[in-house]
């Protein structure tokens, strides 16, 4: 069974631009979560989607948004990029049926904002 796939693997943008990241969950998984990882802040929760609906959201500004499609694939978008948005963006999937489930992570998209 294929794991969580994230594209692109690396991305370089400039301040003010916007970016869209893509995530394909493990087949059969209906929940997709997004995390931002930086050396200073560690892993921080962005949001979680289940059945095309955002179920939970972390403490990030409105410039960070996401969506989920009917096939459970998800995208996240960051508008008006800032230097501080440089980070590894990780997507994780789970079955989504119960409260306590292990998350399976992709390899991430490394975003650099210049």
Partner 1 sequence: GESVGLHLPTLSVQEGDNSIINCAYSNSASDYFIWYKQESGKGPQFIIDIRSNMDKRQGQRVTVLLNKTVKHLSLQIAATQPGDSAVYFCAENNYGGSQGNLIFGKGTKLSVKP
Stretch that binds partner 1, among 11-19, 62-70, 79-87, 93-101 (CB under 8 A): 93-101
**Which residues inside 30-59 make contact with partner 1, applying CB under 8 A?**
31-33, 35, 42-45, 48, 50, 55-56, 58
Our finding on whether 87 is near partner 1 (CB under 8 A) is: no
* Interior/surface letters 36-71, b for 16+ CB within 10 angstroms, e for the rest: beeeeeeeeebbbbbeeeeeeeeebeeebbbbbeee
Round to whole Å and give the CA distance between 53 and 56. Answer: 9
- 60 contributes a contact to partner 1 by CB under 8 A: no
The residue from 1, 2, 62, 102 that contacts partner 1 (CB under 8 A) is 102
Judge contact between 50 and 29, C-beta under 8 A. no
CB of 82 to partner 1, least distance (A): 23
């Amino acid at each position: 069974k294929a794991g969580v796939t994230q594209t692109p693997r690396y991305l370089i943008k400039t301040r003010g631009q916007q970016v869209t990241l893509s995530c394909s969950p493990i087949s059969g998984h209906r929940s997709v979560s997004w995390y931002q990882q930086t050396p200073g802040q560690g892993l921080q929760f962005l949001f979680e989607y289940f059945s095309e609906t955002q179920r939970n959201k972390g403490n990030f500004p409105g410039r960070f948004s996401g969506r989920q499609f009917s096939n459970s694939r998800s995208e996240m978008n960051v508008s008006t990029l800032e230097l501080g948005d440089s980070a590894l963006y990780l997507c994780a999937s789970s079955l989504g049926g119960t409260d306590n489930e292990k998350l399976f992570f992709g390899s991430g998209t490394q975003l650099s904002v210049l």
